């Protein structure tokens, strides 16, 4: 998709479609008023006739009329008030969905919706992300691949200089779609080995170095928590280490760590069969790390990033871990495995230790589809945010608000730690039936060694089930903005 900026008048721009707005009181935007005047009141008459009420993201496609150069007009409702972040993205998604199929170019006269809170550059950035969303469709495993989704050749932005914003939005959109593609891949293809191959393919860019730690090497190192999960499968587990080098090597990297369980049966603590097919999405934390790296490689920010993925299958084989087993983590701490379905924290804790010991990161954010408890608490709207570091909390909440990739901060007080007490090891891997999302975060916090750290539980936001089944690509946008703000 190409993005262009133009100062042409709305009635004069040559395009397959021009997009203009109307609010809920019937007031046309300046660009819409120009078209209305050139067409003898054609747009205002549509409101008077009740064809459109101006509600947020409501659309009405109209044929081109005499007096304007565009072949079609898309009239879009902007609501009662200046759009907030959520409504603005609804508007842009509606626009992209309605216009991305047209051959040629689409002109957007949306700059009038900008505000102090959401400047024109933000609208342009989110426009590129919206068109990336509209262009994505999973076809990789179709017997007869469908035609590529149609998309406009170019988007013409009628307004100020927002070229840089379009570059950023395009990079984030590509990263989101990459994360979706990885998440949607079936688990017989998307194995830990296949994920490692995706990381290696990204190293064609000289800014990225990749190292793969295989299951045997990790066992030799003493990563007993990771090995306890990976050993139950015939597919060997791996920790994938990607280093994005954007500035001087003396600058400590910011670490992002993604859970990559490519299929989660629950192990010996077997999950119910209903919807178990969706457990291929238990690697969406890893997918978001890959998507973030993809965006960073396009944007080339001056920052060092350590991007790690812990990848394994959790299977109920004869040599799988059993409830009651005690394993020794890479840190030396021992763990009583009370539930083999609490495996994500086991693979992550050894990766945290490895990353801290070997790379001394300035900060860490781990991202994981970790707990059903978080999904029950927050649904599909907010990811759970856990941290005791106020600076990191503020940084992540700022990035979440800007990108509308929402988070909600949940408690991580020390009082919860005692729920992980074990009679037979330094800790148990679960804390009982209460506060499950918090005790999972408490478990991980024990392996952060004083490094500024935050945990994102994306169990409710990483994918959608049912008829809309598919990966969402969250929280790539949040992570990219968080890192760029560094």
Predicted confidence (pLDDT) per residue in 385-413, tens digit: 999 999 999 999 999 999 999 999 999 99
Q: Which candidate, 247, 241, 172, places its Cα nearest to that of 212?
A: 241
Residue-level length of the chain: 486
Predicted confidence (pLDDT) per residue in 200-215, tens digit: 999 988 999 999 999 9
Interatomic CA distance for residues 242 and 308, integer angstroms: 6
Helices (H), 22-162: 30-38, 42-48, 85-99, 120-135
Average pLDDT over residues 74-102: 96
pLDDT at residue 99 tops 90: yes
What is the predicted pLDDT for the residue at 69?
A: 95
Average pLDDT over residues 238-257: 98
pLDDT at residue 482 tops 70: yes
Confidence of residue 152 (pLDDT cuts 50, 70, 90): confident
What is the predicted pLDDT for the residue at 224?
A: 98
What is the predicted pLDDT for the residue at 471?
A: 98
Helices (H), 371-416: 372-378, 390-403
Average pLDDT, the chain: 96
What is the predicted pLDDT for the residue at 199?
A: 98
DSSP secondary structure letter of residue 28: B
Confidence of residue 144 (pLDDT cuts 50, 70, 90): confident
Average pLDDT over residues 36-56: 96
User: In sequence order, what are the residues at sequence separation of 6 or more whose Cβ sits closer than 8 angstroms to the Cβ of residue 414?
Assistant: none
Predicted confidence (pLDDT) per residue in 278-326, tens digit: 999 999 999 999 999 999 999 999 999 999 999 999 999 999 999 999 9
Residue-range domains of the chain with CATH: 2-160 (3.40.220.10), 172-484 (3.40.630.10)
Interatomic CA distance for residues 110 and 59, integer angstroms: 14
Q: Crossing angle for the helix pair 120-135 and 163-184, nearest 10 degrees?
A: 30
Token pair 């090597």: residue:
249
In the chain, the largest separation of any two C-alpha atoms, in whole Å, equals 82
Predicted confidence (pLDDT) per residue in 415-459, tens digit: 999 999 999 999 999 999 999 999 999 999 999 989 999 999 999
What is the predicted pLDDT for the residue at 29?
A: 97
What is the predicted pLDDT for the residue at 449?
A: 86
Q: What are phi and psi of 96, to 5 degrees?
A: -65, -45
Average pLDDT over residues 206-225: 97
CA torsion angle 165 170 172 174 (round to 10): 180
What is the predicted pLDDT for the residue at 300?
A: 97
Which pTM value belongs to this model? 0.97
- Three-state DSSP class for residue 21: strand
pLDDT at residue 103 tops 90: no
C-beta neighbour count of 145 within 10 angstroms? 9
pLDDT at residue 256 tops 90: yes
The more confidently predicted of residues 150 and 56 is 56
Strands 59-63 and 72-77: antiparallel
Q: What percent of the chain has pLDDT over 70?
A: 99
Interatomic CA distance for residues 477 and 399, integer angstroms: 8
Cβ atoms of residues 59 and 74 within 8 Å: yes
Q: Which candidate, 326, 290, 349, 6, places its Cα nearest to that of 159?
A: 6
pLDDT at residue 146 tops 80: no
Q: Which candidate, 89, 87, 88, 73, places its Cα nearest to that of 33?
A: 73
Interatomic CA distance for residues 136 and 267, integer angstroms: 33
pLDDT at residue 57 tops 80: yes
Confidence of residue 64 (pLDDT cuts 50, 70, 90): confident
pLDDT at residue 148 tops 80: no
Predicted confidence (pLDDT) per residue in 230-239, tens digit: 999 999 999 9
Catalytic residues: 271, 345
Give me 131's structure tokens. 């068109």
pLDDT at residue 221 tops 70: yes
pLDDT at residue 181 tops 80: yes
Interatomic CA distance for residues 317 and 243, integer angstroms: 34
User: In sequence order, what are the residues at sequence separation of 6 or more whose Cβ sits closer than 8 angstroms to the Cβ of residue 341?
Assistant: 264, 266, 267, 269, 270, 271, 314
Cβ atoms of residues 203 and 244 within 8 Å: no
- Which residues does residue 309 pair with via DSSP β-bridges, in sequence order? 240, 258
- Which residues does residue 363 pair with via DSSP β-bridges, in sequence order? 254
pLDDT at residue 125 tops 80: yes
DSSP secondary structure letter of residue 283: G
Interatomic CA distance for residues 464 and 472, integer angstroms: 7
What is the predicted pLDDT for the residue at 149?
A: 62
- Which residues does residue 314 pair with via DSSP β-bridges, in sequence order? 264
**Burial (0-12, 13-18, 19+ Cβ within 10 Å), 316:** middle
C-beta neighbour count of 95 within 10 angstroms? 25
Strands (E), 201-237: 208-214
């Amino acid at each position: 998709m190409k993005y262009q900026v133009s100062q042409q008048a709305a009635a004069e721009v040559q395009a397959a479609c021009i997009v203009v707005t109307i609010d809920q009181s019937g007031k046309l935007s300046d660009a819409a008023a120009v078209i209305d005047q050139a067409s003898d009141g054609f747009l205002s008459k549509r409101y008077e006739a009740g064809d459109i009420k101006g509600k947020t993201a409501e659309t009405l496609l109209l044929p081109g009329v005499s007096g304007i150069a565009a072949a079609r007009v898309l009239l879009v409702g902007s609501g009662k008030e200046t759009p907030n972040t959520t409504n603005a993205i609804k508007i842009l998604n509606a626009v992209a969905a309605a216009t991305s199929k047209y051959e040629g170019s689409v002109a957007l006269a949306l700059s009038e919706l900008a505000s102090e809170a959401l400047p024109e550059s933000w609208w342009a950035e989110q426009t590129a992300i919206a068109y990336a969303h509209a262009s994505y469709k999973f076809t990789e495993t179709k017997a007869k691949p469908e035609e590529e989704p149609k998309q406009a050749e170019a988007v013409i932005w009628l307004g100020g200089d927002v070229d840089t914003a379009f570059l950023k939005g395009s990079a984030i959109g590509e990263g989101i779609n990459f994360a979706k593609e990885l998440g949607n891949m079936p688990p017989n293809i998307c194995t830990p080995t296949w994920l490692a191959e995706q990381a290696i393919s990204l190293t064609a860019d000289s800014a990225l170095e990749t190292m793969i730690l295989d299951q045997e090497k990790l066992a030799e190192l003493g990563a007993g928590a990771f090995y306890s999960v990976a050993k139950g499968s015939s597919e060997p587990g791996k920790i994938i280490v990607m280093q994005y080098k954007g500035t001087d090597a003396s600058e400590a990297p910011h670490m992002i760590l993604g859970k990559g369980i490519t299929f989660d049966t629950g192990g010996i603590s077997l999950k119910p069969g209903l919807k178990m097919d969706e457990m291929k999405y238990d690697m969406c934390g890893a997918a978001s790390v890959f998507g973030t790296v993809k965006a960073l490689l396009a944007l080339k920010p001056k920052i060092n990033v350590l991007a790690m993925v812990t990848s394994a299958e959790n299977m109920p084989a004869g040599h799988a871990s059993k409830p009651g087993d005690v394993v020794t983590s890479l840190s030396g701490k021992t763990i009583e495995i009370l539930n083999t379905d609490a495996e994500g924290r086991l693979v992550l804790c050894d990766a945290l230790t490895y990353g801290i010991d070997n790379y001394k990161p300035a900060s860490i954010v781990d991202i994981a589809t970790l707990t059903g408890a978080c999904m029950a608490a927050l649904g599909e709207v907010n990811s759970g945010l856990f941290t005791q570091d106020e600076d990191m909390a503020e940084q992540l909440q700022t990035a979440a608000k800007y990108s509308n990739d929402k988070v909600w901060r949940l408690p991580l007080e020390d009082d919860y730690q005692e729920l992980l007490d074990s009679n037979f090891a330094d800790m148990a891997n679960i804390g009982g039936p209460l506060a499950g999302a918090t005790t999972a975060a408490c478990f991980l916090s024990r392996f952060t060694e004083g490094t500024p750290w935050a945990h994102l539980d994306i169990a409710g936001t990483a994918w959608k089930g049912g008829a809309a089944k598919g990966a969402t690509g969250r929280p790539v946008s949040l992570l990219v903005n968080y890192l760029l703000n560094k």
